[in-house]
Chain A
Amino acid sequence: MGAWEFYLIVLLVYLGTDLLAAWGLNLEFGVTGVANLGYIVTIAAGAYAYVICTLDSPASAGGFQQYVGGFGLPFPIALAGGVVAGSVVGVLIGITGLKRLRQDYQAIAMLVVSLMAATVVTADTPFLNGNAGLVILPQFAPLSDQDPELQRWVYVGIVAVCCVAGYLVLRRFTTGPIGRTLRAVRDDEYAAAAIGKNIVVLRLVVQAAGGALGGLSGALLVGFIGGWSPGAWAYVETLALLTAVIVGGMGNDRGVSIGTFVIAILLLQGVQFLPQISSRLGLKEDLGWIVLGTVTILFIWFRPQGILPERRPKYGASP
């Protein structure tokens, strides 16, 4: 397999998993207005759940990592485990947001939840191997008994299928009666409650769905790259995702996908192709963060509705 081919596969898998994560976040934030700055924890939960489902018990897997679980389950079930874990974590995070706090306070609360999760995982080594993270040994990788070329393209296919499924879930929530209800909740919660919509249940269902998409994203990614550690889910990852949502256009599925493409691929990968400007190593990446932050500010300043703004449906004559 040529190196360019493999790079393409990597980009496709990363794009697919980034899309799933962005759609989940869009569901929670863009459509329902839940400011979930702790979204990255659902992705991490999915990844970790996948790993502990896939590996055998710690001792029989080599004894060099400590973790709970180790069930030795096949790929589809481990993937489902990731989805469920993401979902559960999503609901738990959502409970912290139920109190009708102002949106920015809520955002900080959720951010703090993600920081707490990171601290607990790194502090408690027997739980998920602390900072060293977990490694999926090659023999546990999905389809590992197949020819590697085939294995990788089939994996891209699996990611693609999951993206289709995820997109359908997203559409279900953003269009049709459920979508309208969610927008009503976002735009005027009291009115929505006044006409009998059960806000609490709806919010939690959305958190579960968004978390499920996040968990799926994490599980698919870790199945491909073979390892996961706290370094992979620092809270700045949610920032990058949020920028994607804002840049692409909140509440708009197409826009969010474009935003993800722009940020994840063009900006973050494109920065790597810049020539080495000075002798100071790491300058490129520092500049990358500065650019990302500036782009976000500029977008909110000039075009808060994003590249493709949400298309508000029209319901007859305006008041």
Chain B
Amino acid sequence: MGIHRWRPASPLALATALVLVACGGTQGSTPPSQSGVLNLGVIAPFTGPAAEFGTLLTAPCLAATDLINADGGVLGHQVKCTSIDDTGDPADAVPNVTRAIATTSNFDFAIGLESNTAATTVPLVSNAKIPFFTTNGLTSFTKNNYPYYYRMTPGDDANGAAFAVWAVQQGYKNAAIVFQNNIGSEGNLPGLNAAMPKLGGKIGLNLTIPADSASYSAEVARVIAAKPDVLIWSADPQTTATFLANYKALNNGVLPPMVTATDSLTPDFFNAVTKVVGVDYVTHQIWLVGSYFDQTTPAFNTYKNALLADANTKDIAPVLSTVGPPAGAYDGINIMALAMIMAKTTVGSYYNSYILQVVSPKSGATVVSSYADGKAALASGKSIQYVGVLGKPSFDRYHNSAGEFDANKFNADGSATQVGTISGSQVLQLLA
């Protein structure tokens, strides 16, 4: 039996190998250069229950790389989006990501690493010295020490508090909180529970429901009994559609207004719910609260036009125009690319220290809102400050930048429009 195969090499051989490795690599003072196409990893679920996030995160990658490549690439290299399936299972993600790291040439930057698997994938990518902008919302990363980690999306608890702020701002006093028992929603709950009482709102009922059940009539009956004036909600499209259909049947056709996360700003959600309760409710009574960005900035136009120009992304461009995390990924790619130019190398361990410099405010800096502008400004010797689709990031020492929040409403065609903003500092105060 090949059991003997599994014993490690003898101690002497191991020690020799280690010595050779230690003596072999040196870090010279000139930054190394790579040749060929640069690979940008999109580490996201492409299969499993969260599979739609894979597509949603590939789109900003395509938009950013289309623009970068059209402008001559980064330091002469073209950039390609490489999808790496994290399967949504933290154990299965590990071999996929490590294999990708081993087999992908010039794997110099990454985006994605979402909540289901971030616990196991973040250490892998950071230890491989690949800078990345992650879109997870886990509170476990609020204080972290991974040098290559950057996050421009708020933690889930901050999102939860933002729900509370919006609901109270709209004049609702008695909320029924109904969340599906998945990661994002569970993360929202502490922030929501903390913020509601501080704002003078009441939580009439707090219920966690299982996903994809055939009927939620019993839960609906409980919610109706609590007489809420708003439903603070978070669940997948199928669960939402079934729940609302049951609610409509049991409440004489009347549905409560709903506050939910911008995570639900997807075609799946829109289609599933509209087909079941009609487009009127969806466009008038549902607010989607999440990361904010200003659609009037030049950066936004560049981003939106790039999405519309690429055949693979033009269909979901309307949806992406209002959702924070993909926009954060797009900004992150530009920031990393500009950092590469500043460092005069595409190797992660070298350009990582320039990333924060790309966005830090400094006197005399030229404010740029696209990769092309930044590249041109750097070429003429100026210092730059990148202000992207999500506005000016302000990274704390853990490389997290929470940003502001906004509220959106669906349009009849499935796209969304921003209808209000919520101050990020107010939200953070409520969490303290």
Contact = CB atoms under 8 A, between A and B. Distances in A.
B87 A227 contact: no
Nearest to A47: B91
Contacts, number: 134
B120 to A, nearest CB: 5
B3 A64 contact: no
B143 A231 contact: no
Nearest to A2: B102
B182 A16 contact: no
Given A132-B187, A229-B119, A281-B83, A157 B8 contact: yes
Given A164-B3, A272-B96, A282-B46, A232 B139 contact: no
Interface residues of A, number: 55
A238 B6 CA distance: 24
- Give the one of B55, B58, B92 with max A CB within 10 A: B92
B119 A130 contact: no
A305 to B, nearest CB: 19
A286 to B, nearest CB: 7
B39 to A, nearest CB: 13
B7 A7 contact: no
Contacts of B117: 231
B18 interface: yes
B102 A4 contact: yes
Nearest to A158: B8
Interface residues of B, number: 54
Contacts of B91: 221, 225, 228, 232
A143 B410 CA distance: 52
Contact of A16 (B6, B46, B89, B187): B6
B182 A131 contact: yes
Interface in B1-25: 1-3, 6-8, 14, 18, 21
B88 A231 contact: yes
Nearest to A136: B119
A123 B181 contact: yes
B95 interface: yes
A122 B181 contact: yes
A285 B142 CA distance: 33
Nearest to A285: B47
B209 to A, nearest CB: 10
A226 B120 contact: yes
Nearest to B93: A225
A41 interface: no
Interface in A129-171: 130-133, 135, 138, 148-150, 153, 156-157, 159-160, 163-164, 167
B95 A10 contact: yes
Contact of B87 (A119, A281, A285): A285
B425 interface: no
B186 A132 contact: yes
Contacts of A135: 119, 140
A10 B1 contact: no
Contact of A132 (B48, B138, B208): B138
B247 to A, nearest CB: 22
Given A122-B181, A282-B85, 12 more contacts: A6-B128, A14-B94, A123-B210, A131-B182, A131-B183, A131-B186, A156-B8, A226-B123, A232-B91, A232-B92, A272-B85, A282-B51
9 contacts: A7-B101, A122-B181, A138-B145, A157-B7, A160-B6, A226-B120, A232-B90, A269-B95, A281-B46
Interface of B: 1-3, 6-8, 14, 18, 21, 46-48, 51, 54-55, 58, 83, 85, 87-92, 94-96, 98-99, 101-103, 115-117, 119-120, 123, 127-128, 138-140, 142-143, 145, 181-183, 186-187, 208, 210, 312
Interface of A: 1-4, 6-7, 10-12, 14, 16, 62, 64-65, 119, 122-123, 125, 130-133, 135, 138, 148-150, 153, 156-157, 159-160, 163-164, 167, 221, 225-229, 231-232, 234, 253-254, 257, 269, 272, 279, 281-282, 284-286
